[in-house]
């Protein structure tokens, strides 16, 4: 007697809610083992699947043709043709989705594709969810800041250093602090008109949260680059939400740092534009000085 099962609960098929690959991932655990094998092949090789016939896809996935048909039906499609059309449309949105971790069996090309796709997906996700009003408030605070300090620990401490490098060229006194004791002491010396920017991929680092509280008590404005709804986000005056789920893969770099760097680029460029023509001459002088450090072009 055939094994009964519940129909997989797939998300709304609208591209606005999820890509097809995200739907497959969501339904994967409810599929039969052979259908799950087909799902895994599609998740690993989505671009190839578009050009494969029924027989070719079955052979490469290591399953039967009826299994491919059942896999398509389980996802709500009438057959492979409709499935491939929807897959092609989903891939055309330009938002890659990575299911499989990097592993020791991957070739260098496969590792490169996975790392780049994960980074691209993270950046696109943050771009699409960055709140314009919060961004505007952050830029306004930074434009009028008497002093700007960037706080982060570990990986976020490196991002804070990059932010300080971007902003000191704008003619505002800046500092990047990754030692939590120094953060707390410096925060206590801030004044109204100063801005501190706290960076955290988790939003739960106690010492950074405490430094934010100390800085706000001293009168500074606190901007957070962190997970929405996190303790750090709630502790800040302005929260720029960077919600990038970290891949548990131990080989892969933290994608949240790329998202934080991109948001800080947006802030730096926005502040530079808002500061107007007087800043342009200053930036030109800075670039001219750097030319002296370079050898002539051959």
Same domain, 180 and 239: yes
Same domain, 136 and 51: no
Same domain, 52 and 148: no
Q: Per-residue pLDDT tens for 29-65?
A: 889 999 999 999 998 888 889 889 999 999 999 999 9
Same domain, 46 and 188: no
Q: Look at residue 214 and tell me if it is in a domain.
A: yes
Give percent of the chain above pLDDT 90: 53
Q: Per-residue pLDDT tens for 192-230?
A: 999 999 999 889 999 999 999 999 999 999 999 999 899
Same domain, 66 and 138: no
**For residue 4, pLDDT beyond 60:** no
Residue 14: what pLDDT?
38
Contacts of 153 (CB under 8 A, 6+ apart): 178, 180, 200, 205, 207, 208
**Domain of 286: which CATH number?**
3.40.50.10490
Q: How many domains does the chain have?
A: 2
Residue 159: what pLDDT?
96
**For residue 263, pLDDT beyond 60:** yes
Q: Note down the domain range covering 222.
A: 124-291
Residue 167: what pLDDT?
94
Same domain, 132 and 71: no
Residue 187 sits at φ, ψ, to 5 deg, of: -60, -35
Same domain, 172 and 272: yes
Average pLDDT rounded to a whole number, residues 133-155: 96
Mean pLDDT, the chain, as a whole number?
85
Tokens linked to 273: 């534009």
Alpha carbons within 13 angstroms on the beta-carbon side of residue 74 total: 27
**Domain of 77: which CATH number?**
1.10.10.10
pTM here is 0.69
């Amino acid at each position: 007697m055939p094994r009964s099962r519940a129909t997989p609960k797939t998300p709304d098929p609208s591209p606005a809610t999820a890509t097809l690959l995200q739907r497959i991932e969501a339904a994967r655990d409810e599929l039969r083992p052979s259908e799950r094998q087909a799902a895994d092949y599609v998740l690993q090789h989505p671009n190839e699947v578009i050009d494969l016939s029924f027989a070719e896809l079955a052979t490469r996935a290591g399953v039967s043709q009826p299994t491919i048909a059942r896999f398509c039906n389980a996802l709500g499609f009438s057959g492979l043709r409709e499935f491939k059309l929807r897959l092609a449309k989903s891939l055309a949105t330009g938002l890659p989705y990575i299911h499989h971790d990097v592993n020791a069996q991957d070739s260098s090309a496969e590792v490169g594709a996975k790392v780049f796709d994960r980074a691209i997906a993270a950046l696109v996700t943050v771009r699409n969810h960055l709140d314009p009003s919060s961004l505007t408030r952050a830029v306004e605070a930074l434009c009028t800041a008497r002093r700007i300090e960037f706080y982060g620990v570990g990986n976020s401490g490196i991002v804070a250093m990059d932010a300080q490098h971007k902003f000191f060229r704008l003619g505002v006194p800046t500092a990047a602090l990754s030692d939590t004791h120094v953060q707390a002491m410096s925060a206590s010396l801030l004044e109204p008109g100063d801005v501190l920017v706290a960076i955290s991929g988790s939003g739960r680092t106690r010492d950074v949260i405490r430094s934010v509280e100390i800085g706000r008590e001293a009168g500074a404005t606190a901007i957070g680059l962190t997970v929405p709804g996190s303790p750090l986000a709630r502790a800040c005056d302005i929260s720029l939400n960077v919600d990038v789920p970290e891949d548990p893969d131990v080989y892969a770099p933290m994608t949240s740092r790329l998202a934080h760097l991109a948001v800080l680029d947006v802030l730096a460029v926005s502040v530079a534009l808002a500061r107007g023509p007087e800043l342009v001459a200053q930036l030109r002088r800075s670039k001219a000085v750097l030319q002296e450090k370079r050898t002539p072009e051959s």
